[in-house]
């Protein structure tokens, strides 16, 4: 049974077994005992129930790791007490600790809260009224980092790896998020219509963006190399790729089909942490992030350079060229045009907006 208020008695010293960067990512993690995994629950263990529920709802592997991690920290913070014994005050104490003592960002604090609410609503099935009353941290309004056209051109010249150069140019030329680009399948590129279909983007939505004319021939040549690699994998009894949802069950032969293969496959094979299957995954996103960061440093760009800054630059440069904001909204996949409007604030700064009185 879930208690309605989770009132605690006595003072207790909270010990948090993690060290964090300012953004809330873990620097070091100490192993948690088996009793924490159980957290007072009978078999199956509580965290196993969390994992099972996440997978049945079709959430991603990243969401699973994040939610399980935050739920672990919440339990340890409260002395390994079972969450059913805790309440609103305990949740807010944990969030306050993150904000005041760990100095995590508002987005990280909200992620922790989402993980805890998922535990109560989806796993413990506690219909507690206070769940909706817990206040989320307000995200500060910030302008995106945008590279000007000259900075983009200089950045691209500093990418030495031909594969990563192609990936980065495609990200900037289409406005795709990093993982949207790396998860791109062969079947979703239409060279005749010069368009790319982005499947299962943020929020599980599909959308269409353009295929840059300047990359078409180079992308065709790259795909021919990938096809030869896939044929070699098939000859060795491999060639399987991960498919989302239950597609692999509905279409048993699809994981080996050419159209489902990643456009940017990894150089080696890896083990699926959920199923244990050995497959060729896509290029590691950290490899692209590191290459973009180092290229930005080599180009002498003082701004923080990341793959997502390329997406911001894509949107801003389209608006600068006079394209309608609704068109840019569709290309980016934003549900609300107000999200796209942030780029108009970038346009209104500097030389394209108000003229300084000093220049009068």
Is 230 tagged catalytic?
A: no
Q: CA–CA separation, 89 vs 101, rounded Å? A: 17
Q: Which of 78, 183, 311, 317 is catalytic?
A: 311
Give the CA dihedral 85, 89, 92, 96, nearest 10 degrees: -110
Q: CA–CA separation, 175 vs 225, rounded Å? A: 25
**Contact (CB, 8 A) for 201 and 210:** no
At 163, list the tokens. 């594969």
Is 14 tagged catalytic?
A: no
**Contact (CB, 8 A) for 21 and 98:** no
Q: Which of 67, 172, 262, 343 is catalytic?
A: 343
Is 202 tagged catalytic?
A: yes
Is 172 tagged catalytic?
A: no
Q: Which of 202, 238, 287, 293 is catalytic?
A: 202
Is 18 tagged catalytic?
A: no
Q: Which of 183, 230, 280, 334 is catalytic?
A: 334
Q: Which of 51, 53, 169, 177 is catalytic?
A: 177
Is 308 tagged catalytic?
A: yes
CA atoms within 13 A on the CB side of 295: 25
Catalytic positions are 177, 202, 308, 311, 334, 343
């Amino acid at each position: 049974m879930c208690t309605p208020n989770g009132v605690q008695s006595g003072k207790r010293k909270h010990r948090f077994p993690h060290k964090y960067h300012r953004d809330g990512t873990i620097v070091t993690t100490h192993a948690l005992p088996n009793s924490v995994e159980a957290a007072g629950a009978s078999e199956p263990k509580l965290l196993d129930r969390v994992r099972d529920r996440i997978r049945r709802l079709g959430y991603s592997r990243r969401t699973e790791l994040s939610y399980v991690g935050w739920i672990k920290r919440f339990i340890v913070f409260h002395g390994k007490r079972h969450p059913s014994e805790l309440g609103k005050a305990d949740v807010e104490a944990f969030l306050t600790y993150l904000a005041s003592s760990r100095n995590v960002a508002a987005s990280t604090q909200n992620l922790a809260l989402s993980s805890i609410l998922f535990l109560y609503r989806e796993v413990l099935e506690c219909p507690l009224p206070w769940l909706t009353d817990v206040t989320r941290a307000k995200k500060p309004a910030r302008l995106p980092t945008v590279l000007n056209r000259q900075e983009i051109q200089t950045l691209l010249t500093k990418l030495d790896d031909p594969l990563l150069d192609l990936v980065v140019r495609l990200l900037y030329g289409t406005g795709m998020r990093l993982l949207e680009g790396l998860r791109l399948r062969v079947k979703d590129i239409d060279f005749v219509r010069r368009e790319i279909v982005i499947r299962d983007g943020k929020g599980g939505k599909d959308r269409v963006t353009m295929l840059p004319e300047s990359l078409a021939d180079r992308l065709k040549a790259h795909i021919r190399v990938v096809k030869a690699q896939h044929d070699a994998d098939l000859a060795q009894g491999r060639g399987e790729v991960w498919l989302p949802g239950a597609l692999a069950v509905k279409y048993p032969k699809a994981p080996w089909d050419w159209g489902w293969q990643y456009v940017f496959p990894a150089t080696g094979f890896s083990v699926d942490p959920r199923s244990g299957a050995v497959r060729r995954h896509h290029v590691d996103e950290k490899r692209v992030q590191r290459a973009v960061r180092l290229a930005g440093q080599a180009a002498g760009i003082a701004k923080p350079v990341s793959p997502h800054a390329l997406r911001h630059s894509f949107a801003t440069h389209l608006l600068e060229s006079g394209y309608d904001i609704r068109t840019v909204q569709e290309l980016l996949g934003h549900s609300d045009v107000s999200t796209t409007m942030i780029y108009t604030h970038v346009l209104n700064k500097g030389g394209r907006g108000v003229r300084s009185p000093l220049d009068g």
